[in-house]
Chain A
Amino acid sequence: MLNKALFKQSCKANWIKWLCVTLSTCIMLAIVIIVLGNLSINDIRDSLKNVFVQANQEAYLKENTIDSYNLYLSTVEQYNQNVQLSNGVPVLINQYNNKIQEYKLANEGVEPPYEIKMQYVQEIASRASTRLPSQNPEIIKGYVTAILIYYIDNPTLAPSNVYDEYFLEQIYLQAYKQSYDEAIEDEMTEQEAVNYATMQATSAKTLSQKAITQYKGDVAKEGASYVYSKERYKSYAQTETINAISQGVYNQQIAMGESEDIAKQYAASVKVISNTSISTYEFWLNQYEESDLENPITEEQIQLARQEACKSISDEIPEKVAIALEELGNMDMNGLIIGSIFYRIAGLLLPMVFVIMAANGLLAGQVDSGSMAYVLSTPTKRRTVTATQLAFLITSLFAMFALLTIVSVISVWIVGGNDFAINYQQILLFNLGAFLTMFAIAGFCFMCSAIFNRTKHSLSIGGGLTIFSLVCTILGLFGSEVVPSAMRISAMNFFNYLSIITLFDTVAIMANDLSYLWKFGTLLVFGIICIIIGIFRFDKKDLPL
């Protein structure tokens, strides 16, 4: 099937070309990977990314501030609403305790069973519900029942503290649930979500505790003359919230191992940000209030005020610019330069030149010059000639990419292996893809070389279309999604449909999207079809030898 002498002849005729192309491509690749790995080209990108990270942090911080601020105010408001109930709670607990004592006396000191306890609770709650005519008795009954059950579960609490503890517990649970749901929505793991929710709930509870203490102190100081208004607690709310948030950030920085000074600096700047956001929030609430004095502020207006207060840099620049900048920040420079530029364009150019020249020289060139006569005047079938020349072409290409693969893997290892932006699997797939692309191109050039008797026809069709493909890929790059939208001209994407190299999908490889597999298959099939056509045509055609 193959002819050893002819294979040797082809090797002798092409080895210098092969060596030059292979070595220079390998050196190019090694330089690209090592330079990208060492001279962090991502510095600018990182700082750009930082801007957005900081902006997100700032927005988060502001949201947190406003939420805490509202929590403080609503705590005081709610506590004030239920102040009568809270005053009555110790009395109700005493009633309950008396009932238990009675039961114990009647039953020789034995604790009553749970059902009896619940029965007492129901009785007390029913009676209590009628005492506060200003409020819905069912709600009061529910409250009292819940508080007494809480007491049963925590019997060591002093009766005077039970209400406060219950109240804070409710705030804690609510904050925990909300934070946990948020965290799960943000795709945190179970453990992370629990930690986050616990932290948020604890700080909410602490802040509420402070609010209650403040309220109680005011009531105690002023006695009967005390009048609740939301306004008088706003400045407390602001101060406490800012302190709580900055303290939280300070603790966080210390936990992350920063020095005390830096943590203090952070805390100070956080104070400024929090302060600004609360002031903005209040300013907008005032604006809305004044604009329509007759109606109370709507929920919608509150949300608008909150949005204004939580604005960060990313909200202040135009949306398109923000998207473009964010995209630029998220752009994968290594993937772009190594995948889309080196493996699809720069690294293919020299192998292409080799394939175009070699494929032409293996058949058409020898037929055109006439030197094929020396081969075909020996007992060698035309099929053997094509098979041998094809074997040489594919083997030399394979050897080239085998060497390139070794160089690329070593280079990636030098710059940090799997820590590098492109891991071993991806770099291997890049090499495989480039080889298959070159296989398809080699098949096409081989077919042209087998069909045409003239070098000029073989070169202009085979080489011409190959280079055309490469140029289309270069032009198409400016329309492809790897280029950030600020620089992208989507009409240029049209060129990608004209190039066979488009079937080598480096973007899919970087994204681990398996769609690259069928494209690889298409390249392989295309190459094989071309080869079959070429071999059959060469068998049947006239040779001017």
Chain B
Amino acid sequence: MEEVISVKNLTRDYGKGRGVFGVSFDVKRGEVFGFVGTNGSGKTTILRHIMGFLKAQTGEVKVLNLDAWNDSRDLKKYVEYIPGEIAFPDLKDGTTFLKNQAELLGIHDMSYANELIKKLQLDPSANLKRMSKGMKQKTAIVAGLMADKEILILDEPTNGLDPLMRETFLEIILEEKRKGKTIIMSSQMFDELELTCDKVALILNGKIVDIADVNEIKNSKYKTLKIEFINEKDYKDFKKLRYKIVRDQPQYNQVTVKVADKNVNKLFSQIKQCPLKFINETKQTLERYFQEQLFKAKTQSIKDIKYQKKEKRHVK
């Protein structure tokens, strides 16, 4: 598949450890790419580079093989954007704003915009300044999506929406995805990324820690099973069976194991005779996945620090 967006070794140092450092990723045509990370981790900064609002200090950002900074204007023919910060021009009401935006975009057919308005149950005739946060976000969504362009860049688009509206919005995104659009969105919610994205990048302190393939996580070939035995003897016997133990809690006679799909039946037959308190499957989610990654990253960094300290001692 063709690469629509390619970011190579992008660095922008704001000082004091803030900014983004050596970020590289590619987004292919028709792919939905997510960013997840804490506040201030650098999600918005990356999106601003793609939009051509910021100039890369080092590295390059290309969209459709055009330079994001130099060909910023031409790119906007293919890219639409929902900014993270909701602030509208100094205009009277939503309708005026949307009409004005349509004029700026050069679109005359408002039918798609009206469709979005209907789906989001937005009343655009309200005064822009007095809109609630959710209404503002809906207006921003309509303004951002109404041009129906092939690349969508969405900066925390569900921020401020109530749960029902979030559902509607995610449906809209999935609809766009079905149309074959390339989408980049950032969010703090794992579940909505899991629902919509093909790939999700985890950003921590301006660096991409990991890029996860959501389909792989969802269709994992392993099952995680949590089993609690009534008898201690059964528990000990089970442990001897050499399944991969993720977590062991001997005080409850409890064990969590990771089993390949094909071995599940075998496992069941082996514990068929043992009285169990319970057995349940822990679903693998994006959140869980990243928590594992984060844990690894942290322990790695702690190890790194310890290693560095040791080295220092050696030097002394």
A contacts, CB < 8 Å to B: 3-6, 8-9, 12-13, 361, 366, 369-371, 373-382, 540, 542-545
Contacts and interface: CB of A to CB of B under 8 A. Distances in A.
B85 to A, nearest CB: 4
A380 B73 contact: yes
A375 B87 CA distance: 12
Contacts of A5: 100, 103-104
Contact of B77 (A366, A369, A379): A379
Nearest to A5: B103
Given A379-B77, A380-B76, A370 B85 contact: yes
Contacts of B51: 373, 376-377, 545
A9 B83 contact: no
Nearest to A361: B90
B140 to A, nearest CB: 8
B76 A377 contact: yes
5 contacts: A5-B100, A369-B87, A377-B79, A542-B53, A545-B85
Nearest to A368: B87
**Interface core residue of A3, A4, A9, A361 (most chain B CB under 10 Å):** A9
A382 B73 CA distance: 8
Interface residues of B, number: 32
**Interface core residue of A6, A13, A369, A377 (most chain B CB under 10 Å):** A377
Contact of B89 (A3, A13, A378, A382): A13
Contacts, number: 88
Interface in B65-115: 72-74, 76-77, 79-81, 83, 85-92, 96, 100-101, 103-106
A8 to B, nearest CB: 7
Q: Which 9 A-B pairs have the closest CB atoms?
A: A5-B103, A369-B87, A13-B90, A377-B81, A370-B85, A373-B83, A370-B87, A543-B53, A379-B76
A214 B305 CA distance: 133
B85 A380 contact: no
Contacts of A375: 89, 104
Contacts of B88: 371, 374
Contacts of A8: 100, 103
Contacts of A6: 104
Tell me whether chain A's interface is mostly helix, strand or loop, or mixed: helix
Contacts of B104: 3, 5-6, 374-375, 378, 380
Nearest to A541: B55
Contacts of A373: 51, 53, 81, 83, 85
B91 A543 contact: no
**Interface core residue of B79, B87, B105 (most chain A CB under 10 Å):** B87
Nearest to B99: A5
Given A5-B104, A542-B53, A379 B85 contact: no
Contacts of B143: 374
A380 B147 CA distance: 14
B100 to A, nearest CB: 5
Contacts of A371: 87-90
B206 interface: no
Contacts of A382: 72
B186 to A, nearest CB: 14
Nearest to B85: A370
B166 to A, nearest CB: 22
Nearest to A375: B104
B144 interface: yes
B48 interface: yes
Contact of A545 (B53, B80, B92): B53
B56 to A, nearest CB: 10
B267 interface: no
Given A5-B103, A373-B81, A378-B105, A545 B144 contact: no
B54 interface: yes
A230 to B, nearest CB: 95
B286 to A, nearest CB: 29
B89 A542 contact: no
Given A4-B103, A5-B104, A381-B72, 20 more contacts: A3-B104, A9-B100, A12-B91, A12-B92, A13-B90, A370-B87, A371-B88, A371-B89, A371-B90, A374-B89, A375-B104, A377-B51, A377-B79, A377-B80, A378-B76, A379-B74, A380-B104, A382-B72, A542-B53, A542-B54
B83 A379 contact: no
A382 to B, nearest CB: 8
A386 B23 CA distance: 32
A456 to B, nearest CB: 16
B106 A379 contact: yes
A327 B79 CA distance: 72
Nearest to B88: A371
A544 B48 contact: yes
